[in-house]
Structure 1
Amino acid sequence: MKCADLLQQDPSAAEGALQHPFLKACSDGSITPSQFNAWLQQDYNFVNAFAHFAERVRASSPSAHTRAYTDGLAALSEELTWFKVKLKERSLQSGGPLHETCAAYIDLLGQLEKQSYAVQAAAFWLVEYVYNRAWQLASPVAEPYREFADRWGNADFSKYVDILEQNADEAIQNADEKQQASIRAAAHAILTIEERFWQMAMEAS
């Protein structure tokens, strides 16, 4: 089993996560400010929790893989600062109340922190892959949202995601049958809640 298999095992969930109507609405400019703002606020909350998950994955990783998560943590720290700027530009609070979908995603990260490195590495890759690939598929994105697509859909981020995939593939190859089952379950959970996360924003009034 490899990372690519995790997308093929659940094509409908993968499509929902990667090609949701929220992304299409960003692309053609039909997204409303309230919908985009709802996503932005909750995504800040998620990324804040995801940075803590990255720390756990780095601590669990073999030395040959640690550099990737160290680099990722630095990028996430910078990203959280950027989020605050974007939220302020839109007169939105950072660290506002958690939507139940965002809270469920953060709870999932907490559960994954207790799993083996192989599960964590695959999950970490998948979260970053979805961000990267979803915004690539949505591009070109209409203004004023183009910078968001460019941030997560750019070639440098894709190269980083490729490194994460290599790490995860190595870990998966060394995983036993029980761990591989946990990896498949984690992938399904991530793809499902990613779709719910986009839908959460679409339902904002």
Structure 2
Amino acid sequence: MKHLLALRDAHWDEWERLLGHPFLQRLRGGEVSERSVYAWMEQNYHFVEGLLELQARLVPRAPRAHRLVLAHGLVSIVEDLDWMAIQPIDPAAPAHPARERYLAFLRLLDQEPYPVSVVALWAVNRVFHDAWSSAAPSGGPFVDLVEHWTAPEFHAYLHDLAEVAEEAWLAASDAERQRVHALVGEILRLEWGSWDMAQAFAGHYG
């Protein structure tokens, strides 16, 4: 997976900056209210639904050898939505503008060539995993939430998705690889906006 790591390294300044977002630091220190975290989770529900739609459309476009990994990912996404639905959130809450921008981006990914789409999908999942890993608290009310999004099952799926994305990267044209770099930059900007949204919730709810 050296090419994916090289892709991340090419954007490491922005990637590392994201992992130090003030909200993630406050979450790690247990300095935000449960209500603000659940407000973020309401918006994350929309995001995960968008991932479900994107990945469902990717499966038939994928090479046969990639389909099982992507199909297993669909099951994990459905399970994640079911888990969030039993939390104290309103899944029907209106989408925040920051979330609407991310959803529009996910719809855009469906229009990209398969190698571009699947490598970008890996980047979305990897940066999400890295952000939550960086926010892992030593105790407090959010340990279970962080453990959910950094669980071994998600790590195993991310590993399998990385293998698929690495193969797609090797099959991609130079133009497609350049497009991936542009999209990774956009993913990092959208992720920053998502955590800014969470920071605003923390300011509102304490």
The alignment's C-alpha RMSD in Å is 1.6
Contact 2:11 2:185 in 1 (8 A): yes
Mapping for residues 24-35 of structure 1, pairs under 5 Å: 24-35=25-36
| TM-score, normalising length: structure 2 | 0.91
2:168 is equivalent to residue 171 of structure 1? yes
Give the CA deviation at 1:141. Answer: 4.9
Structure 2 counterpart of 1:121:
118
Structure 2 counterpart of 1:65:
66
The C-alpha deviation readout for 1:104-147, integer Å capped at 9, x for no partner, is 00000111100011111111111111222222222235332111
In structure 2, distance between residues paired with 1:36 and 1:184:
31
In structure 1, distance between residues paired with 2:195 and 2:7:
20
Q: 3-state DSSP class of the match of 2:86?
A: helix
In structure 2, distance between residues paired with 1:41 and 1:196:
16
The amino acid of 1:130's aligned partner reads: V
70-79 or 149-158: bigger deviation = 149-158
Structure 2 counterpart of 1:109:
106
Q: 3-state DSSP class of the match of 1:98?
A: coil
Q: 3-state DSSP class of the match of 2:137?
A: coil
In structure 1, distance between residues paired with 2:138 and 2:18:
17
Give the CA deviation at 1:18. Answer: 2.8
2:49 is equivalent to residue 52 of structure 1? no
Mapping for residues 1-205 of structure 1, pairs under 5 Å: 2-86=3-87, 89=88, 92-204=89-201, 205=204
The amino acid of 1:110's aligned partner reads: R
Contact 1:125 1:161 in 2 (8 A): yes
In structure 2, distance between residues paired with 1:35 and 1:140:
16
Give the CA deviation at 1:192. Answer: 1.3
Instruction: Give the count of matched residue pairs.
Output: 201
In structure 1, distance between residues paired with 2:191 and 2:86:
24
Q: 3-state DSSP class of the match of 1:2?
A: helix
In structure 2, distance between residues paired with 1:142 and 1:48:
30
Identity value in percent: 27
In structure 1, distance between residues paired with 2:72 and 2:139:
30
Give the CA deviation at 1:178. Answer: 1.2
Contact 2:30 2:137 in 1 (8 A): no
In structure 2, distance between residues paired with 1:58 and 1:104:
24
Contact 1:51 1:77 in 2 (8 A): yes
Q: 3-state DSSP class of the match of 2:39?
A: helix
In structure 1, distance between residues paired with 2:99 and 2:138:
24
In structure 2, distance between residues paired with 1:156 and 1:77:
14
| TM-score, normalising length: structure 1 | 0.92
Give the CA deviation at 1:32. Answer: 2.4
